[in-house]
Amino acid sequence: MTHTNSLRIDVRENVELAPYTTFGVHAVARFFAEPRTTEELTAVLRDERFLGLPRLILGGGSNILFTRDFDGIVIRPRMDELELIDENDEYRFVRIGAGADWTRTVAETLDRGWNGLENLSLIPGTVGGAAVQNIGAYGLEIAERIVEVECLNPETMQFVTLGVDDCDYGYRTSTFKHEPNNALIVLSVTLSLPKRFEPIFSYKELAHYFGDQTPTQASEVAQAVIALRRKKLPDPAELGSAGSFFKNPVVSRIKVRHLLEDEPRLVTYQLGGGRAKLAAGWLIDAVGMKGKRRGDAGVYERQALVLVNHGQASGAEIKALADEVAAAVKRRFGVELEPEPVII
């Protein structure tokens, strides 16, 4: 008879991480595990071979930059079941395993005729990563669709479910990025998908795409988003990147007013509370860094917000380029750029 405690999953040693990240930079994990079920995950966490070692949870590797090897265990959860768990007149409630591929999840919901995720089409990564970092694009953040996030606390081995209000969602951030909840391992995410289709057009470029026509189906919005993304963002299969390398910085409106005096073309988005967001891509472009290369590390020529790996760049080289970009923006505009990916 087997019981959970004796479940042993295959844990590989000295694993090259380049294929598991969208930057594709070289780094080696001392141990690497891909649990397919919660039981397999708990078995890895209980395994005495790895107790006390540094631990890293890797999703789709689309928001991480390794600048060195990882001398510990990398766990890549693969639980990927998608389940309609409830519905009412207005919403469908869908629970998805943390390891499910995000792009495939969006496509699958649309194939089933379920609206709600179309604006977030073609974002690389996993469902778990999406909930941790509150992915957002074209006028929608995943936080707006999240009901709850089911996690495992690896210290106590207890399951905890956080309702959306406990997740502290903000622009590309959540409670899962800060102590103590950054220790939690996301197991599944429950989303509520509105049954009535209402196109979200707050993003100017998306509105422009349709002109005076109004899409009647979510799949039309998805197609538009996919077309816009393909135009501006590199396909990770062809050119390594982590999407936007920097967050759009949030500054006071007074600062914006000063900046506009010198730079009337500055791109800004008004926020509440006397704050405004600046387009980091525009700032980087304005300091002349767009398309610049340092060896194989580069600033993407079609979108200055994206750093790319032209082939053999190391994580450290990409990080050095990021520092150079941030320093140039700081010097010219007095604005700090904060990296979006996790840098190891």
> CB 306 → ligand EPU: shortest distance, Å?
7
Residue in 40, 244, 314, 317 annotated catalytic: 244
Residue of 115, 188, 248, 314 interacting with ligand EPU (CB under 6 A):
248
Residue in 34, 55, 172, 314 annotated catalytic: 172
Using the rule CB under 6 A, is 304 a contact of ligand EPU? yes
Please state the three-class secondary structure of the chain as a single string: CCCHHHCCCCEEEEEECHHHCCCCCCCEEEEEECCCCHHHHHHHHHCCCCCCCCEEECCCCCCEECCCCEEEEEECCCCCCEEEEEECCCEEEEEEECCCEHHHHHHHHHHCCCCCCHHHCCCCCEHHHHHHHCCEECCEEHHHHEEEEEEEECCCCEEEEEEHHHHCCECCECHHHCCCHHHCEEEEEEEEEECCCCCCCCCHHHHHHHCCCCCCCHHHHHHHHHHHHHHHCCCCCCCEEEEECECCCEEEHHHHHHHHHHCCCCCEEECCCCEEEECHHHHHHHCCCCCCEECCEEECCCCCCEEEECCCCCHHHHHHHHHHHHHHHHHHHCCCCCECCEEC
The window from 1-9, 184-192, 299-307, 319-327 that contacts ligand EPU (CB under 6 A) reads: 299-307
Instruction: Please confirm, yes or no, whether 95 is among the known catalytic residues.
Output: no
Residue of 91, 93, 210, 282 interacting with ligand EPU (CB under 6 A):
282
Using the rule CB under 6 A, is 263 a contact of ligand EPU? no
Using the rule CB under 6 A, is 279 a contact of ligand EPU? yes
Using the rule CB under 6 A, is 131 a contact of ligand EPU? no
The window from 43-51, 155-163, 302-310, 321-329 that contacts ligand EPU (CB under 6 A) reads: 302-310
Q: Which amino acid is at 301?
A: E
| Pairing of β 140-141 and β 136-137 | antiparallel
Using the rule CB under 6 A, is 325 a contact of ligand EPU? no
Using the rule CB under 6 A, is 249 a contact of ligand EPU? no
Instruction: Please confirm, yes or no, whether 219 is among the known catalytic residues.
Output: no
Nearer to ligand EPU, 35 or 243 (CB): 243
Using the rule CB under 6 A, is 232 a contact of ligand EPU? yes
Binding track, positions 71-110, relative to ligand EPU; x by CB under 6 A? ----------------------------------------
Residue of 138, 176, 201, 209 interacting with ligand EPU (CB under 6 A):
138
Instruction: Please confirm, yes or no, whether 340 is among the known catalytic residues.
Output: yes
Residues found near ligand EPU in the complex (CB under 6 A):
137-138, 203, 232-233, 243-244, 247-248, 267, 279, 281-282, 285, 290, 303-305, 340
Catalytic (active-site) positions: 172, 244, 340
